[in-house]
């Protein structure tokens, strides 16, 4: 499995309800679910994202924004709207007191549908265990990708069809969100340049790509610099130099980091014994694995497992869904 597919395997749509919002200005939406990721596709009109750190990011028709959680944030028609009278909405289906149901959410339109209104498709993603944390570390607080106009039209049509609750509509909504997330992240990584994670830049390099793919296909294999260089078809010295230059650390340091990241997930999300985890990430014995894990992560495997025991906020998510407005209010 390639690195991006591995990261995305920890976060996906299951039992989702697509929220298709059509809003007439002035309006605000507060996202209060503590979602690991929220995806907003602007079909018509536009608005401004107001992030917890004070960042403002304008998004317009054809833009898809992915916002990294879990802090609440706002999407508004204009930054000054929050200080005046406006229609206020909230998406908070995953809090313990939420009363959202799939039936009442299907096909919801907020506000008035008109040519001047802003049309959005909003999807929130649940996390499956701790694997998603590696994906979040690879992303900025918000990323925006411009979509083709035909893609936006298709998204709006698909969301409208899915909301009719006909046969297969649930699967359609789930796959709609997953497809959009994968496409958006691939587009962003491809355009991010130096801001893209090192593993993504490496996969685009003709020398490193075969070696990286081989390692990620079989991370537990007894890889050496020589065996990886052979996969790349270059000398050991050339491979090590190029790898360090493009990836920011030597090949074996990268292999160890990847293996320990995978070990973190297995310690947090499975009941496998330490020896079993050691073998699954390429170590012949638990002692060598434990020493490497503590050196890189600062805790022994057993101590790390103890610190991550119990449900997290992400684990309490049942399924991603949009929410009908908690009530349209007018603020003075």
Instruction: Say whether 110 sits in a helix, a strand or coil.
Output: coil
Strands 87-91 and 27-31: parallel
Q: How far apart are CA 282 and CA 297, in angstroms?
A: 17
What's the confidence (pLDDT) of residue 297? 92
**Other CB atoms within 10 Å distance of the CB of residue 233:** 11
Tens digits of per-residue pLDDT, 22-34? 788 888 988 887 7
What's the confidence (pLDDT) of residue 125? 75
Average pLDDT, the chain: 78
List all residues 6 or more positions away from 227 whose beta carbon is below 8 Å from its beta carbon.
Answer: none
Q: pLDDT confidence of 107, banded at 50, 70, 90?
A: very low
What's the confidence (pLDDT) of residue 236? 96
CA dihedral 31, 33, 37, 39 (to 10 degrees): -40
Give CA separation, 331 vs 49, 79, 85, 103, in Å: 19, 15, 5, 30
C-beta of residue 37 within 8 angstroms of C-beta of residue 11 = yes
Minimum mean pLDDT range among 87-91, 170-174, 283-287, 305-309: 170-174
C-beta of residue 104 within 8 angstroms of C-beta of residue 323 = no
Taking residues 286-306, what's their average pLDDT?
94
What's the confidence (pLDDT) of residue 15? 52
Q: Measured between alpha carbons, how far apart are the two ends of the chain, in Å?
A: 53
């Amino acid at each position: 499995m390639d690195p991006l597919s591995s990261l995305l395997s920890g976060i996906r749509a299951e039992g989702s309800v697509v929220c298709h919002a059509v809003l007439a200005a002035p309006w605000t939406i507060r996202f209060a679910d503590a979602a690991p990721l929220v995806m907003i596709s602007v079909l018509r009109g536009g608005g401004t994202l107001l992030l917890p750190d004070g960042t403002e990011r304008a998004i317009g028709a054809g833009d898809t924004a992915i916002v990294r959680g879990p802090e609440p944030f706002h999407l508004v028609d204009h930054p000054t709207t929050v200080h005046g009278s406006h229609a206020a909405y909230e998406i908070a289906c995953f809090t313990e007191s939420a009363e959202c149901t799939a039936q009442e959410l299907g096909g919801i339109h907020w506000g008035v549908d008109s040519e001047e209104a802003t049309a959005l498709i909003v999807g929130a993603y649940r996390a499956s265990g701790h694997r998603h944390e590696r994906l979040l570390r690879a992303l900025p607080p918000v990323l925006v990708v411009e979509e083709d106009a035909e893609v936006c039209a298709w998204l709006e049509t698909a969301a409208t069809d899915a909301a009719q609750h006909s046969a297969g509509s649930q699967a359609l909504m789930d796959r709609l969100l997953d497809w959009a997330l994968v496409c958006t992240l691939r587009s962003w990584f491809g355009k991010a340049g130096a801001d893209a994670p090192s593993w993504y830049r490496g996969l685009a390099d003709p020398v490193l790509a075969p070696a990286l793919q081989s390692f990620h296909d079989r991370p537990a294999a007894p890889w050496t610099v020589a065996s990886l260089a052979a996969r790349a078809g270059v000398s050991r010295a050339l491979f090590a130099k190029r790898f360090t230059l493009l990836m920011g650390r030597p090949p074996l340091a990268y292999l160890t980091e990847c293996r320990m990241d995978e070990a973190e997930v297995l310690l947090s999300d499975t009941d496998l014994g330490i020896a079993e985890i050691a073998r699954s990430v390429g170590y012949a014995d638990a002692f060598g694995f434990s020493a490497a894990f503590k050196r890189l992560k600062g805790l022994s495997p057993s101590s790390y497992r103890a610190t991550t025991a119990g449900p997290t906020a992400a684990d309490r998510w049942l399924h991603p869904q949009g929410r009908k407005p908690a009530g349209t209010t007018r603020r003075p």
